[in-house]
Structure 1
Amino acid sequence: MTPWILGERFNTVYPHQGSIKALWETKWKFCCQKSIYPFHDGSFEDFEPIFEKLIAQNINDAFSDAYTNTFLPIAESLERQAAEALDSGHADRASDLYRRAAVVLRISRFPYVSHASRSETSVKRLAYERQKNAYLKAASLWKPALEEELILHKHASGSDGSQIPLYIRLPEDASASNRVPVVLIMTGLDGYRPDNSQRTHEIIARGWAVVIVEIPGTADSPADPTDPESPDRLWSSVLDYMETRPELDMSHVAVWGLSAGGFYAIRAACTHRERLVGCVAHGPGSHHFLGKEWLSRVNDHEYPFTITDCWAEKYGYASTKEFEENAQKKFSLIETGVMDQPNCRLLLLNGVDDGVVPIEDSLILFNHGGPKEGRFFEGLMHMGYPNSLPVAYKWFEEVLSPNKTEVKN
């Protein structure tokens, strides 16, 4: 057996597994009270009655319709209140209520919405559609507003879809005569376009634009999940679109890949190195997380629900067993030789005690290709929160605005 840095915790079943009651009481209640992942932007008062009902009715399967449906009455109430506030001329209150509704809908469709699921057959897909609707109503009232664009997938091939939905938010002073740097956010397995409000606020506050795109195999991504090279085509189309925006300084584009998106940030640092000034891979997998040994125990670790079934569908496999047997050879950034190419600046961020993807997946990258940068936090789990966020923003400031005064996040 591999001597994992995670140590004896590799074989440990974490206490929240299999029980909504245990998950809420040992993990999620605290996160909800502090408004941190996955409850960022949410309000405890919205969630407490929902989880009391889930616990009372012994609903433990987050993949069930019963789980998702438990959230919907609260979301509907918040949406109704938001509409009433907007009709009464209270735009700030309306935006706040729509934001809260979107977060409730986020957790209702947690942990995964397949790229292939349809609203007529998937309650989670329907909840996601409602989440996007509520979120865009909230974000349209921000200053500056966040907007949705549906762009042509110019480089689509094979089973790729023809259009790419993305979110874009620009500083109010961005123009053709005042072009601004831009951060391209690559989302994760469970966090999608409407799940990055605070990041967009922080990015806008630094005078940069932000573009948010979902990764292959998730939500609305048109990229063929079965093709290891489909993300390369996806980012080429997105970057080509960004070139058409006169407000964007395309000589200063950086990527921020979040969790599962970190995998794609690493890949883009090689495949699109000449179009990017840098990439942050935040909580990334690269190789070991797709191996059979890691996959044999990952469902027992910190992720709140079973993750291997989601990963299998995300990578386009018909069964989890087929995924476990074949994914590493097909998708690993080491096995496929991607990491033996040169790369643009690449910062790897994670917690040493990550039980979702092993810290070894960051460390192995230092033995391949060009130089890398890394900051890993002992005693912290997946993503290295909260300590990793200031490091990310400081690094982006050095890469995108080296002559500006540091902004405190």
Structure 2
Amino acid sequence: MPDGTWVLGDLFTKDYGHARSIQKLWTQRWKFPCSKAVYPFHDGQFSDFEPIFDHLIKENINDPYTDEYTNAFLPTAEDLVEQAETLERDTPGKEKNRKEAIDLYLRANAVFRIARFPYIGTPLKEQVFERQKEVYAKGFRLWDVPIEEVIVPHTYAANGDGADIPLYIRKPPTSPQPQTNGHTNGYTKANPQTKKHPVILLITGLDGHRPDNTLRTTDHLTRNWATLICDIPGTTRDCPSNRRDPLAPDRLFTSILDYIAATPDLDERRVIAWGLSAGGYYAIRLAHTHRERLLGAVGHGAGTHHYIGAEWLRQVGKHEYPFGLERAYVAKYGYADFDELMERCQDEFSLVSGKGEGVPVVGHGMSSCRLLLVNGTLDGCMPIEDSALLADYGSVKEMRFLKGRAHMGYPEANGVVFPWMESVMRSVEE
């Protein structure tokens, strides 16, 4: 326990009650965000989900890892895909129908996402994730500014790493143009000599993966930024890193940053890593290990040390995460069971106290690039203490903690992150 108490206070031991009840999860936690099409229902539509959850509640299907849970979503998802394909096939070339097809593919993408929630830990969920990516690609090929999938050689693969790194990249359609009124309005001006795009390296989380970032990539386009999206070790088969090796991400990001440097229209001088939730750990690590190759990094809702300590792990299944994190963490880090995870994970992976050579980049006092830490003070997934303790080590950090907000600090968090990234991007040009 940090300094004798947790910022969560009594909430640290409170059981939120929804982890084993689909009825409570829907009515108490998910129905409202679903109605607003926000995480984890972004790209989605409420009318697609309500009948599915009515069915799950009626049939008392509470375990998300069962095929019963996953299968409940698939007819709706496939029906949306069929509608979109029909529009494309029967009325090609009509702008109205193109937009409707895009929307239908996005809605299907959201349904597939919740079907394979919270972790791709069963054969059926693996199949659903592959289908999600396939359908997402059908949709993004219709966009005005589509995503491209690139397969990058993992040049530095070692110790059981795979050979290839699948990435999504979305770039502005033309070379960035300066604002016509002579002001940047917070956005990045073009470099007329190089015509290269600044890059946001988006590092995904435990349940959010490459097809789950439509709005973020669009927000980056409005700022003339390219987005490169990668998955993190231990979550999907798309990340080639050895999940048991705490140094594997260093090799992964060296290969990715080399790809950026070798791509003519990407600006290797202006790269910001933005790590989301479990991805925040990797953004923070990257900010230290590759500080000379990054302009900045954002650890957003990040864990660094306490989140994988036994005291926190004993309680985390009671907190706000929809289905508990125990099974997902065991699989992500490659342990035999939850007891082994509690016993070993902090010693092996903590950025502060990890015992392996090169692991505790924070605890050893390494300097970092500019590093912003953002989270809600009442985060029950990644304790706010994991962000705050970075102030005790190394170079100066920048922090914004949203009082009374839960994991990730929404809804205010993006209003902190985007102005910060805009400022950091401008700093190269000034």
Task: Report how far residue 403 of structure 1 moved.
Answer: 9.1
Residue of structure 1 in register with 2:109 after alignment: 102
Residue-pair matches, total? 398
| 1:31-82 C-alpha deviation (Å, 9 max, x unpaired) | 1001111001110011011001101111000111100000000001000001
| 1:8-46 C-alpha deviation (Å, 9 max, x unpaired) | 000100032311011000110001001111001110011
8 Å Cα contact 2:270/2:428 also seen in 1: no
Residue of structure 2 in register with 1:44 after alignment: 46
The aligned amino acid for 1:143 is: D
The aligned amino acid for 1:169 is: R
Q: Distance in 2 between matches of 1:5 and 1:316?
A: 30
8 Å Cα contact 2:88/2:101 also seen in 1: yes
User: Which of 240, 246, 259 is the matching residue for 2:277?
Assistant: 259
Q: Distance in 1 between matches of 2:39 and 2:22?
A: 17
The aligned amino acid for 2:322 is: P
Residue of structure 2 in register with 1:209 after alignment: 226
Q: Determine whether 1:296 maps to 2:314.
A: yes
Residue of structure 2 in register with 1:407 after alignment: none
SS of corresponding position for 1:289 = helix
Structure 1: give runs of 5+ residues left out of the alignment: 405-409
User: Which of 408, 417, 422 is the matching residue for 1:397?
Assistant: 422
The TM-score, its normalising length taken from structure 1, stands at 0.95
Q: Distance in 2 between matches of 1:198 and 1:263?
A: 22
Match runs of 1:103-122 below 5 Å: 103-114=110-121, 122=123
Q: Distance in 2 between matches of 1:370 and 1:309?
A: 35
SS of corresponding position for 1:149 = strand
CA pair 402-335 structure 1, distance change in 2 beyond 3 A: same
Q: Determine whether 1:92 maps to 2:99.
A: yes
SS of corresponding position for 1:173 = coil
SS of corresponding position for 2:368 = coil
Residue of structure 1 in register with 2:398 after alignment: 373
Q: Which moved more, 1:14-23 or 1:343-352?
A: 14-23
Structure 2: give runs of 5+ residues left out of the alignment: 177-192, 355-359
Task: Report how far residue 177 of structure 1 moved.
Answer: 4.1
Residue of structure 2 in register with 1:274 after alignment: 292
8 Å Cα contact 2:43/2:109 also seen in 1: no
Match runs of 1:45-194 below 5 Å: 45-87=47-89, 88-89=91-92, 90-114=97-121, 122-174=123-175, 177-194=194-211
| 1:125-172 C-alpha deviation (Å, 9 max, x unpaired) | 011011101111111111211111111100000110000000000001
Residue of structure 1 in register with 2:385 after alignment: 360
Match runs of 1:6-17 below 5 Å: 6-17=8-19
Match runs of 1:300-379 below 5 Å: 300-336=318-354, 337-339=360-362, 340-379=365-404
Runs of 4+ in 1 over 6 A off after TM superposition: none
Q: Which moved more, 1:123-132 or 1:91-100?
A: 91-100
Q: Distance in 2 between matches of 1:382 and 1:35?
A: 18
Q: Distance in 2 between matches of 1:75 and 1:402?
A: 44
| 1:387-408 C-alpha deviation (Å, 9 max, x unpaired) | 011111101100113599xxxx
SS of corresponding position for 2:31 = helix
The aligned amino acid for 1:74 is: T
Q: Distance in 2 between matches of 1:153 and 1:279?
A: 22
The TM-score, its normalising length taken from structure 2, stands at 0.91
Task: Report how far residue 174 of structure 1 moved.
Answer: 3.1
- Root mean square deviation, CA, Å: 1.3
Task: Report how far residue 272 of structure 1 moved.
Answer: 0.5
Residue of structure 1 in register with 2:37 after alignment: 35
